[in-house]
Structure 1
Amino acid sequence: MALVTTDTLAPKNRRPKLTISEIFNMSFGFLGIQFGFALQNANVSRIFQTLGAKVDDIPILWIAAPLTGLLVQPIIGYISDRTWHPYWGRRRPFFFIGSILASIALFLMPNSTVLWMAAILLWALDASINISMEPFRAYVGDKLGSNQRTTGFAMQTFFIGVGAVVASLLPYFFTNVLHISNTAPEGIIPDSVKYSFYVGGVVFFAAVAWTVFSTKELPPDDINEWRKEMRESKGMFRGFTEILRGFTVMPPTMLQLAIVQFFTWLALFSMWIYTTSAVAQNAFNSTDTTSKAYQDAADWVGVMFMVYNGVSAITAFLLPMIAEKTGRKYTHMICLVIGGIGLISMLFIKDKNLLLLPMVGIGLAWSSTLTMPYAILAGALPAQKMGFYMGVFNFFIVIPQILAAAILGFFVRILFNNQSIYALVVGGVAMVLAGLLNILVKDKDE
């Protein structure tokens, strides 16, 4: 595939206005991407524990997820900024390649037979998902003007919510509707989990393929200028130099949002890696991964995650309307504070049905996290480096996850006496703090 590279795009305020159906098509691939993430978030800790991991080992095993994002997203963003093909365009080659790799990893993950195999496949799965996901964020900035940008990210959030609802519910559905076993001998992953991942692999590829083949990208304004840029910037060393330099010239709004993102994703990561063990221990009174009580708890966590993702999908188009009245940063602040309170409240809830209530607040925070920071950020970025800076912005998502992976296991083991629920309390406090820090953010569009 012959590629032409560039550092320029049409100015953001000259983007043609797209119809809702066009925005739908360009965002639909996120349904598949979130299928992969939701299956990963709700089931990987379960898989690790089934294969013999101790509860305080789980964070360090999860470190693959943030590290692959740290490495993959800026590189993919940089390369996709500088890519053009007459048919495939700029971002769509990466959507497609990532979907193929992620689908393969989803089929392999539940067939892991030993812990190290599952850990390696988590690296492969997360890297593949990131190859697809990072250009999707830049795609909105490429194709939509400032007056449609919030709608574009909201549409992505809607599909993220829908995909996560269905994916999170799959193990529970296979167990309770199709009566497929959710228990297995020690060291064996239950069939309900396996079939869920198989469905996820198919949906991931199909949804991304829909976006790839139903949308087109804006062509370069001056192909000769782009070719000149390619010739002048050849070489891997120059590429890495430009990536590193990008950190020293980040727009002020990006730095302000980075602080908010740091505490937000510290909270989210603690929730993803510890909810299964916390709910099993705190509400189902079980730490034995071979017991029915533990597996029922793990299935119920899928239902809980379905609720917060469902709320995210429902509120995706409500938040932009609220933001028009109150401002994007204050909307984000309110949502994060409510979500943080929800996480903290799980400490006091022993009834599994009541555990669905905090998920409503967490869903509101999740919806805002997927929409508002990116809508604010895209207005502050140069169009010619949209993909790169979206990739760099991911650093402030993955660094707190790496920190959480490094310290939460110690906290749970030493300070919290292996009571996982307190990791969720730490996450709740971090999310409330993230909400309050929005006061520091300057939204250029406002």
Structure 2
Amino acid sequence: MQKPQLSFWHIWNMCFGFFGIQFGFALQNSNVSRIFQTLGADYSNMTILWVAAPITGLFVQPIIGYMSDNTWGKLGRRRPYFLYGAIVASLSLLIMPNSPTLWIAAGMLWIMDASINVSMEPFRAFVGDMLPRNQRGLGYAMQSFFIGVASVIASALPWMMTNWFGISNEAELGKIPESVKFAFYAGGILFFLAVLWTVVSTKEYSPEELEAFERAERELDNQPDLPEPTRSSKQFFSGGFIWAASGIVSTILVAFNIEALDKNLLLLTSGLLLFGVFQIIAGLLEQTGNNNNGFSQIMVDLFNMPDAMRKLAVVQFFSWFPFFAWWSSSTPAITSHHYGTSDVASAAFNQGADWVGILNSAYNVAAVFAAISIPFVVRWFNLRIAHTANLLLGGIGFISFILIKDPKWLVVPMIGVGFAWASILSLPYALLSNSVPMKKMGLFMGIFNFFIVLPQILAASILGFLVNKFFGGQTIFALVIGGSSMVLAGLLTLRVQHAD
């Protein structure tokens, strides 16, 4: 029983919801720093405010992945999460630009990011569910295409509101400009309608059909059924105590040197402690036989990832660090370094903030063309060379920001960033979907998200410290650090074996 080939338009319909999801993310990534600064945040606490997004994804994605793997109802397996997440995310987009204070805005970011993650995570598994192996590359490329198109429009939307529709991009101190507000209103509506289109136009295979498809694939490949992975309570306890002890010691060291160190480092040390505690809890559940639950399943599978995930994890880690640096630091970096101001009420600051939106659009325009061209590049060379080249282009692009004086020319390095972005969003997922059990597609996609989230948490913990401690508070160096990380990711890709 082979999974049938789907038509181009069927794949288009099942991926179209990603247009709305990315529209929400792009509005968030391009404008939240601007909203935070307008409401009184400075760079020393900007990264800690931004950490809401990756922390939310760290917990939400594996949980939603596990739940959607085990869901079947009138709307199917993944579609309930598409729809319910879209409803909350759309409402959050309408409320966010009307936040009266900084901490309300930070709370709305948390809610908005959680709901977007609820919609987004099952979309990754959806491609693996619905498409045969030879069409999954096209499916993820289609998602990358919609990511690029949505990001281009959404990132430039405040600029378009001002220059095309005459809506003001300036406001009195502490107030969000009308151009940003109307951009978020449009985003909330488009988010919901795009996801609704996929929900209405696509049907899902039942769990029994998916099981039969997977069995047929294994028989075709002469692969035996994989045993359920296990991890002993002793392994959980030993690892947990080591991680917890490291977290306690490092937290104490940072706390006693809080004046010399950045308080954001407490986020990193607390994470070490929490990961240790989670392992100890998993060990207790394993020891008492109470391991038939989502938490235990996530912890066991985390330590039993397929080889493809292990090989790509380190590359993913260093690939995503630069993008968090860009999303959290681009507005203060470019307005201060290229426009010479940090005054959020000034015309120069708002001009620079608008230009950041254009730069976000530029790299996403490049990503659209990259999504189309990457499959051909892979055919000419191989996956590792293609991914390495794209990551090196992106890394060099970020580093060059400190060398370019005229902000208009910043569009050029964003082309390289766009190729890196398209590569990161497509190639790893296509590889991963072919290497994990279909019945756990959502869970493993959620676990894979750890290696997207963890570098963002690391960036939130150390970027402010590095910039203030070693670079005199010049935020532009956050982009240089990010670019160096991406170059390293490109070089590490060459170590990935048998990924082609």
Normalized against structure 2, the TM-score is what? 0.83
Q: C-alpha separation between the residues in 1 aligned to 2:157 and 2:403?
A: 28
Q: C-alpha separation between the residues in 2 aligned to 1:325 and 1:15?
A: 28
Alpha-carbon contact 1:329-1:372 (below 8 Å) kept: no
Confirm whether residue 141 of structure 1 aligns to residue 196 of structure 2.
Answer: no
What amino acid sits opposite 1:53 in the alignment?
A
- Which position in structure 2 is the counterpart of 1:4? none
Q: Between Structure 1 and Structure 2, whose CA radius of gyration is higher?
A: 2
Confirm whether residue 352 of structure 1 aligns to residue 407 of structure 2.
Answer: yes
Confirm whether residue 159 of structure 1 aligns to residue 146 of structure 2.
Answer: yes
Structure 2 gaps, min length 5:
213-289
RMSD of Structure 2 on Structure 1 (CA): 1.6
Q: What whole-Å deviation, never above 9, does each CA across 1:408-437 have from its counterpart, x for those lacking one?
A: 111122211111100000000000111111
The Cα of 1:324 is off from its aligned counterpart by: 2.1
Confirm whether residue 84 of structure 1 aligns to residue 72 of structure 2.
Answer: yes
Q: What whole-Å deviation, never above 9, does each CA across 1:310-341 have from its counterpart, x for those lacking one?
A: 11112212111211222222211110000000
Question: Which of 17, 21, 25 is residue 37 of structure 1 equivalent to?
Answer: 25
Q: What whole-Å deviation, never above 9, does each CA across 1:379-422 have from its counterpart, x for those lacking one?
A: 11111111100000000000110010011111122211111100
The Cα of 1:370 is off from its aligned counterpart by: 0.6
Q: C-alpha separation between the residues in 1 aligned to 2:478 and 2:485?
A: 11
- Which position in structure 2 is the counterpart of 1:317? 372
What amino acid sits opposite 2:369 in the alignment?
I
Q: C-alpha separation between the residues in 2 aligned to 1:286 and 1:337?
A: 31
Stretches (4+) displaced over 4 A:
222-225
Please show how residues 11-410 of structure 1 align to structure 2 within 5 Å.
14-85=2-73, 87-221=74-208, 238-410=293-465
The Cα of 1:221 is off from its aligned counterpart by: 2.1
Structure 1 gaps, min length 5:
1-9, 226-234
Among all aligned residue pairs of Structure 1 and Structure 2, give the percentage whose two residues are the same amino acid: 53
SS at match of 1:183: coil
Q: C-alpha separation between the residues in 1 aligned to 2:334 and 2:479?
A: 10
Q: How many residues align?
A: 423
Q: C-alpha separation between the residues in 2 aligned to 1:371 and 1:305?
A: 19
SS at match of 2:494: helix
The Cα of 1:220 is off from its aligned counterpart by: 2.7
- Which position in structure 2 is the counterpart of 1:228? none
Confirm whether residue 433 of structure 1 aligns to residue 488 of structure 2.
Answer: yes
SS at match of 1:355: helix
Normalized against structure 1, the TM-score is what? 0.93
Q: What whole-Å deviation, never above 9, does each CA across 1:249-279 have from its counterpart, x for those lacking one?
A: 1011101111001001111100111111111
- Which position in structure 2 is the counterpart of 1:232? none
Q: C-alpha separation between the residues in 1 aligned to 2:349 and 2:365?
A: 24
Alpha-carbon contact 2:291-2:297 (below 8 Å) kept: no
Q: C-alpha separation between the residues in 1 aligned to 2:323 and 2:346?
A: 27
What amino acid sits opposite 1:405 in the alignment?
A
Distance change in 2, residues 1:112/1:236 (3 Å): farther
Alpha-carbon contact 1:336-1:432 (below 8 Å) kept: yes
Q: Which moved more, 1:277-286 or 1:434-443?
A: 434-443
Alpha-carbon contact 1:63-1:402 (below 8 Å) kept: yes
Alpha-carbon contact 1:162-1:310 (below 8 Å) kept: yes
- Which position in structure 2 is the counterpart of 1:424? 479
Q: What whole-Å deviation, never above 9, does each CA across 1:316-371 have from its counterpart, x for those lacking one?
A: 12111211222222211110000000000000112121010011000000011110
Alpha-carbon contact 2:210-2:438 (below 8 Å) kept: no
Q: C-alpha separation between the residues in 2 aligned to 1:27 and 1:327?
A: 26
Q: C-alpha separation between the residues in 2 aligned to 1:119 and 1:60?
A: 10
Q: C-alpha separation between the residues in 2 aligned to 1:51 and 1:217?
A: 44
What amino acid sits opposite 1:44 in the alignment?
V
The Cα of 1:222 is off from its aligned counterpart by: 6.8
